[in-house]
Amino acid sequence: MKNRQQLVADAAAYFENYPDVETFYFTGDGMAFTPQNRAEGSSHAASIRSELYEIHRNEVEKEGEEATQDHAPKVDEGPTMKWKKPDIQNWMTANGVEFDPADTIAKLLAKIADSKKDDTPDLPTVEWDIVSIKEWMGVEQIAFDEADTVEILLSKIEASKAPKE
């Protein structure tokens, strides 16, 4: 299943081919529906257990402007803490990574990291909230104190990942 960001990228071709349409509705499997066919889109989304995403022409144009400003090619490195849980689960399903629907986002990301070929987990950064960092540390079995700040937690993670002499 595709996430919203992927569908916005796909939508550019639809808006190019249909210059009079200002809005398309997409399902997670990439099917597009016009406003006249929205009910059919909702029905299809329900049948595949997907959200029906409403994507406007101005979102695609904005995305295109941002892409031209960024000269480096974008690489899909997979889910991050910025992703919504259903999108992470959809990505995991699409990539054959097993999970329990009750897993927290931190546990889902840890399972993704475990599934990667290089077995290198995505380490928390200052962008993560403190609860998620602590959840991640629990999954990785790294000790911490409840009173630790984000900076202290990140230093403990770094120390635990340093090669042992």
Give pLDDT tens digits for 142-156. 899 999 999 999 999
- CA 156/CA 136 separation, integer angstroms: 12
Between 84 and 78, residue with greater pLDDT: 84
Q: In what order do the strands lie in the sheet with 23-27?
A: 32-33, 23-27, 52-56
| Strand-pair partners of 32 | 26
> Which band of pLDDT confidence, cut at 50, 70 and 90, is reported for residue 70?
very low
Mean pLDDT for the stretch of residues 130-144: 88
Name the one residue in this structure whose structure tokens are 């104190």. 145
Q: Do 94 and 56 share a domain, yes or no?
A: no
Q: Do 98 and 33 share a domain, yes or no?
A: no
Q: Do 62 and 122 share a domain, yes or no?
A: no
| Residue 92 is assigned to a structural domain of this protein | yes
Residue 65: domain span: 4-69
Count of structural domains within the chain: 2
Please determine, for residue 72, whether its predicted confidence score (pLDDT) is greater than 50: no
Average pLDDT score, the chain: 83
> For residue 78, is it left (φ>0), alpha (ψ between -120 and 50) or beta?
left
Total-model pTM: 0.40
